[in-house]
């Protein structure tokens, strides 16, 4: 599993862009960890 921050670093995407795609259901296997999902500190995890 990767945090949102790690995925952004690996893909070169912005946090906002990646969050948009996750919220649209275009990134599979995304899970929230129960922390405030509006913060950019790894509150989502994705298997890429």
Number of domains in the chain: 1
Q: Is the dihedral of CA 5, 28, 44, 38 positive or negative?
A: positive
**Residue 2 CA from chain centroid, whole number:** 8
Structural domain of 27: 2-46
Please give the chain's pLDDT, 48 residues, in tens. 788 888 899 999 999 998 898 889 888 777 766 655 555 555 555 555
pTM over 0.75: no
């Amino acid at each position: 599993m990767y945090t949102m921050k790690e995925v952004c670093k690996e893909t070169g995407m912005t946090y906002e862009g990646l969050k948009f795609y996750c919220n649209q259901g275009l990134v599979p296997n995304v899970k929230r960890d129960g922390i405030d999902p509006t913060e950019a500190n790894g509150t989502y995890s994705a298997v890429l």
